[in-house]
Amino acid sequence: MALRTIESLGALSGKTVLLRSDLNVPLKDGAITDDGRIRASVPTIQALLAAGAKVVAFSHLGRPEGAPDAKYSLAPVAERLGELLGESVRFATDTVGESAREAVASDARVVLLENLRFNPGETAKSDEERAAFAAQLAAFGDVLVSDGFGVVHRKQASVYELAQQLPSAAGLLIAAELDVLDRLTENPEKPYAVVLGGSKVSDKLGVIAHLLPRVDALLIGGGMLFTFLAAQGHKVGKSLLEVDQIETVKGYIREAEERGIELLIPTDVVVASKFGADAEHVVTAADAIEQTPFGAEGLGLDIGPDTAAAFAAVIGRSRTVFWNGPMGVFELAPFAAGTKAVAQALTEVSGLGVVGGGDSAAAVRALGFNDDQFGHISTGGGASLEFLEGKKLPGLEVLGWQ
């Protein structure tokens, strides 16, 4: 079965469409610091409004413990969504209570319910509890459009059970994400390079295993690089290290060599005296981390300039590039150069360059890049990774995706 799209729902004029979006944006002191996911949800909402539908949107934000928590309210999102749509968005202060019922019954064309995770039914372990919450949501509309790609790997009430209770289809965002991910896994244009960063090797094991047979080059940065260095026999000071993954990483290094894959492990790193923007720091060879003035207390926080140049060269000659995870602690200016170099190289890819969501997406925007400089910026880091691991994603399977 193929993915069901909005067209499969028939005429929507006069109908109320429930829209599961992913509006899980970062907030600081109640202000949105990156509105990328809100902007990504707009085309589907506009298409539904153009079709004559009323839209009742909902999403989660953060990880509240199944109860209202003001710091996780979607109120700022409703305001920003209204600005992007150019019309008022009616905000309900609860999920399925009196405020939600009044908002849905109002003449507002767009309604946004409060954070779904304020209701324990959204993420309940019990199938019955999730189904009961989904039924309460289902009562608000005629059909469901599922467009929150960042949660399709989760079996949650609004993602899975609700799609079983109403006629359901994927929105424009999910369709676009799947088109790109399909191009990364099924006959990708060669040469194909994958750039992996972030803090933990363990988060990326499945991706490495699944993609190694498919790629021409694998570039390793971020905190996970130190486990690769340790697997090569180097000391890494106080840098992030997953000792229990060293043997697994050794296996990947051997496999890459056997397959003739270009595996780039950093040859130089930026080592600091401590974790902080004001820390003393030096660039050193990757095999000499403990020979800096900081000795065994040294902390690696970014790839070095030689490594950044080598990564950029590989990216530049590739036709398909997938990047997930920053190269260093980009939030601190002295340790952002590696991530910025990779981002810049990705903007110059002549084929398909994909930023794999999550921290990578936040990084490119924080470093001054625009979304349209890249082939695609995914809205779902975890979902993208699980797709690339070859896993079945419940939020897609329930929409007909095989």
Catalytic residue IDs: 37, 200, 358, 382
Residue 62 assigned as binding residue: yes
Which alpha helices (DSSP H) does 51-203 contain, by range?
Answer: 75-85, 98-105, 127-138, 162-165, 172-185
Burial 320-357 (b: 16+ CB within 10 A, else e): bbbbbbbbbbbebebbbbbbbbbbbbbbebeebbbbbb
Residue 357 assigned as binding residue: yes
Residue 39 assigned as binding residue: no
Residue 154 assigned as binding residue: yes
Residue 130 assigned as binding residue: no
Residue 63 assigned as binding residue: yes
Residue 359 assigned as binding residue: yes
Residue 198 assigned as binding residue: no
Residue 319 assigned as binding residue: no
Residue 99 assigned as binding residue: no
Residue 10 assigned as binding residue: no
Beta-carbon neighbour count of residue 129 at 10 Å?
17
Structure tokens at 185: 């896994």
- Nearest Cα neighbor of 22 from 63, 79, 60 is 60
- Half-sphere exposure (CA, 13 Å, Cβ side) for 268? 16
Structure tokens at 39: 């902007």
Q: Long-range contacts of range 24-27, CB-CB < 8 Å, 24 or more positions apart?
A: 24/59, 24/60, 24/61, 24/62, 24/150, 24/151, 25/61, 25/77, 26/362, 27/61, 27/62, 27/71, 27/76
Residue 101 assigned as binding residue: no
For tokens 């193929």, name the residue.
2
Output the CA torsion sign for 36, 41, 47, 52.
negative
Residue 61 assigned as binding residue: yes
Q: Give the sheet arrangement for strand 168-170, strand by strand.
A: 90-91, 110-112, 54-58, 16-20, 143-146, 168-170
Residue 376 assigned as binding residue: no
Residue 360 assigned as binding residue: yes
Q: Which residues belong to the annotated binding site?
A: 22-24, 37, 60-63, 117, 154, 204, 300, 331, 357-360
Query: Which amino acids are annotated as binding site for (2R)-3-phosphoglycerate, given as ranges?
Result: 37, 117, 154
Give the residue ranges of the annotated binding site for substrate: 22-24, 37, 60-63, 117, 154
Positions at the binding site for ATP: 204, 300, 331, 357-360
